[in-house]
Amino acid sequence: MQLTSLSVMVVEDHAFQRRVAIRLLEELGLTQISEAADGSSALTLLEQLKTTPPDVVLVDLDLPGMDGIEFIGHVAARKLTRAIALTSALDPALLNTVQGMARAYGLRVLGVVEKPLTAAKLAETLTQFHQAEEPASVEPQLEVHHDSLRAGLGGGEFEPFFQPKAAIDSGQIVGVEALARWRHRGHIVLPGHFIGMIERENLIDEFTERMLEAACRWHGRWAAAGVELKLSVNVSMLNLLHVDAADRYQRIVMDNGVKPRDVIIEVTESSVMSEAAHALNVLARLRLKGFGLSIDDFGTGYSSLAQLSQIPFTELKIDRGFISGAVRQPRKRAVVETSLDLARKLQLTVVAEGVETVEEWQMLAELGCQQAQGFLIAPALPGGELLAAIRNWHYPEPPRPAA
């Protein structure tokens, strides 16, 4: 899909700046452009377009009456667009907060187009609409019952897809993260639609073990083809409440011909309870058996330093929310730099998640980050497609300076 196929709404109260934005979009070849001078009229127009909503709404924050922040909240609640981008010259810290708010509402946020607008700035931001969108899934509205989950587990409907991790210094693919997918009723369903139900129905232990076993079988096939990769597998906090989990995971891994040292157990930061004795027991024993331990989505919880001080992690994954926009947002870049400095002092490998552009890759290289994961390298893929994706992966060339 080309940039010219996008439909865009411009919400800007200043008539001259609105005309400039529309003219620049037309210069980029866009023909599906609508406009509004304030939040209220924009909402009215979006309601009229609800059956064919614009792909992107470009919104200024400093609007009369209903400001852009309130407007974004209404747009998210009513699901009136596929993505938004901010157009503003306000404080970067405020813009960062608004982007975080919009994402928390469930909106895709393409970034900030700083004023004064130019065609190049608009093109760079709007291009993210296609680059950032995961292509593999159609997420149906499902009413999931215990019986369908149990049948899916028994029928092999759940399977791991694999997203590659690349070494930034060499570009070599060094590992993969196993990400659960459910092939259900002709759709590929993402974990956000079923993990919570699996946990509530007390099926999480069976589910995690099946994912681990399936991932290890694929690891063996890749090894037989001459490709050695570290394998990362996610576990739930509920998995860690049973003290025999470490023994079970070791048995599954070794029964499938994989060494524990080649497997990294990923634990989401916000899910690790620092005072849970059983969890600390299991994590310590996993490390004792040779498994790597990764703290996932670092910086998104409220106890990052406490977790790092108590648990023998070997890897730290910087959340994609800090990587996106860090090239141009000093505060986000500072978080990335600080995380890398802390990881170096703790002798942890660092993986940057959600890397989508060459500029982000180059920034991470300059800051000394070891590994990257994201759509720039590859989306999550079925195991049978991984080796081809690795062969097709090319080390990104640094962007050429503008003439």
Catalytic residues: 353
Whether cis (ω within 30° of 0) applies to the bond prior to 116 is: yes
How many CB atoms are located within 10 Å of the residue 149 CB? 22
* CA distance readout (Å), 184 to 110, 149, 159, 212: 30, 10, 11, 20
- Identify the CA nearest to 168 among candidates 18, 388, 376: 376
Q: Retrieve residue 370's tokens.
A: 């070891």
DSSP letter at 397 equals P
Q: Retrieve residue 281's tokens.
A: 């027991």
Rounded Cα distance, 370 and 167, in Å: 6
Q: CB under 8 Å to 266, separation ≥6 — which residues?
A: 177, 232, 233, 234, 235, 294, 296, 317
List strand residue ranges (DSSP E) for 285-389, in order.
292-298, 315-318, 349-352, 371-373, 381-382
Rounded Cα distance, 371 and 245, in Å: 28
Rounded Cα distance, 131 and 129, in Å: 6
180 forms beta bridges with: 160
Number of H helices, E strands in the chain: 15, 15
SS3 (DSSP) at 132: coil
How far separated are the first and last CA of the chain, in Å rounded?
A: 28
How many CB atoms are located within 10 Å of the residue 223 CB? 14
How many CB atoms are located within 10 Å of the residue 197 CB? 16
